[in-house]
């Protein structure tokens, strides 16, 4: 075995890259991942990335916010210490709604974004795991694991045929570590 770890097909056009994915899949070559400078619609179906469940999570975070806000207001101004404001009732539900709404949004947004960062391993100072520096600029990169897929020249050929501008053989997985 050579010490090549990953084969990268670098495309200048998203449609050609999609074509490249099809070509590789027709030949039963497993794709490690795809790196693009912008979201590509329809790619997740091709690569079998499952539908995100973040929306369900966001809903439950929101509900938690609603309940927490209600609990806070009820326990403080109805149970713990009633204010007498012009003889009006302490349990004034319509007055509670603005804060319940705001806290719903707050919990929903923070729960959602927090789980997104956690599930995709994004956090401040994380070492970027980048295979090709132009993947965030103008190149669409298909990465194939070279150890799992033996026939390198065939992969090269398929990528070139689909329109890859260049094909790289990387001996390190991530080039971004200094």
Among 4, 5, 36, 152, binds other proteins (CB under 8 A): 36
**In the complex, minimum distance from the CB of residue 143 to other proteins, in angstroms, rounded to a whole number:** 9
Determine if 8 is a binding residue for other proteins (CB under 8 A): no
- The 57-76 contact track toward other proteins, x by CB under 8 A, reads -x---x---------xx--x
Q: Which stretch binds other proteins (CB under 8 A): 2-10, 22-30, 32-40, 146-154?
A: 32-40
Instruction: Report the residue from 1, 3, 121, 148 that binds other proteins according to the rule CB under 8 A.
Output: 121
User: How is residue 88 written in tokens?
Assistant: 């009006």
Cβ distance 130 to 175 under 8 Å? yes
Among 4, 54, 67, 165, which residue sits at the site for other proteins (rule: CB under 8 A)?
54
Applying CB under 8 A, the span of 117-125, 144-152, 154-162, 165-173 interacting with other proteins comes to 117-125
Angstrom distance (rounded) from CA 32 to CA 168 = 15
4 vs 113, beta carbon nearer other proteins:
113
Q: CA-CA distance, 158 to 144, in Å (whole number)?
A: 12
Minimal distance, residue 31 CB to other proteins, in Å: 9
Size of the residue set binding other proteins (CB under 8 A): 69
């Amino acid at each position: 075995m050579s010490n090549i770890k990953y084969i990268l097909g670098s495309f200048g056009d998203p449609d050609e890259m999609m074509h490249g994915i099809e070509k590789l899949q027709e030949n039963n070559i497993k794709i490690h991942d795809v790196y693009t400078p912008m979201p590509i619609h329809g790619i997740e179906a091709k690569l079998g990335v499952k539908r995100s469940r973040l929306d369900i999570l966001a809903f439950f975070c929101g509900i938690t916010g609603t309940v927490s806000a209600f609990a806070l207001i009820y326990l403080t101004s109805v149970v713990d210490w009633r204010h007498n404001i012009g003889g009006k009732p302490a349990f004034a539900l319509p007055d509670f709604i603005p804060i319940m709404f705001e806290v719903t949004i707050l919990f929903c947004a923070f729960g959602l974004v927090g789980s997104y960062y956690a599930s995709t391993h994004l956090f401040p100072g994380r070492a970027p795991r980048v295979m090709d520096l132009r993947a965030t600029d103008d190149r669409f990169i298909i990465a194939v694991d070279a150890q799992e897929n033996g026939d390198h020249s065939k992969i090269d050929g398929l990528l070139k045929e689909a329109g890859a501008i260049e094909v790289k053989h990387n001996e390190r997985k991530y080039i971004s570590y200094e």
